[in-house]
């Protein structure tokens, strides 16, 4: 994957002057910067899930609103800050392997990020909601899609998530008998 592509701004990961202000002065290695950025994201207030705003805010709006409602918000805020700090960042949408196998009403997944560490010439997995860096790719999750942000991969609200995940599950079941 070309790191330059993941410095690009998606429609949901625009960089505002307020976001730039937050990353001004963050220096050091990529690892040191990532730790500072994760701390900024973990400092956002945690609010309960709200279907009315689910996947409808930009990373900058999440940061400026001062709260997250789940892993999508954490990842969008982290990715927006990372790109503002000059770190290529990929949005990684995953689906829980157990949900793929058994289905059910409640769709299960998680959002990760991958950042490019220029010094190591490697992509590093990050769990912004868990405030963890340098994690192993999750074995209990299946990558649905990667992109610049949620809107970039066609997930703009709960209905689009549910529809696309169910279609993905049908195809996954056919290919994993």
What would the pLDDT profile of 33-66 be if each residue is shown by its tens digit?
Answer: 999 999 999 999 999 989 999 999 999 999 999 9
SS3 (DSSP) at 166: helix
For residues 100-106, average pLDDT: 89
The C-alpha atoms of residue 21 and residue 100 are separated, in whole angstroms, by: 41
Supply 161's token pair. Answer: 């998530």
How many domains does the chain contain in total?
A: 1
Q: Domain of 169: which CATH number?
A: 3.10.620.30
Identify the band that residue 177 occupies on the pLDDT scale cut at 50, 70 and 90: confident
CA of 40: how far to CAs of 16, 37, 62, 174, in Å?
Answer: 16, 5, 12, 42
Per the prediction, the chain carries an average pLDDT of: 95
SS3 (DSSP) at 120: coil
- The residue range of the domain holding 98 is 3-175
């Amino acid at each position: 994957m070309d790191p330059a592509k993941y410095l690009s701004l998606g429609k949901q990961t625009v960089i505002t002057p307020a976001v730039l202000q937050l990353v001004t002065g963050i220096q050091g290695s990529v690892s040191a910067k990532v730790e500072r950025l994760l701390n900024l994201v973990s400092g956002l207030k945690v609010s309960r899930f709200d279907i009315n705003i689910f996947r409808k805010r930009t990373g900058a709006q999440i940061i400026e609103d001062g709260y997250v409602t789940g892993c999508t918000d954490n990842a969008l805020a982290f990715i927006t800050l990372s790109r503002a700090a000059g770190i290529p960042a990929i949005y990684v949408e995953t689906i829980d392997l157990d949900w793929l196998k058994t289905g059910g009403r409640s769709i299960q997944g998680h959002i990760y990020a991958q950042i490019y560490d220029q010094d190591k010439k490697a992509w590093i997995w990050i769990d912004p909601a868990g405030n963890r860096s340098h994690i192993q790719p999750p074995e209990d999750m299946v990558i649905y899609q990667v992109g610049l942000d949620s809107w970039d991969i066609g997930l703009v609200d709960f209905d689009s998530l549910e529809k696309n995940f169910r279609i993905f599950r049908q195809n996954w079941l056919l290919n994993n008998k």
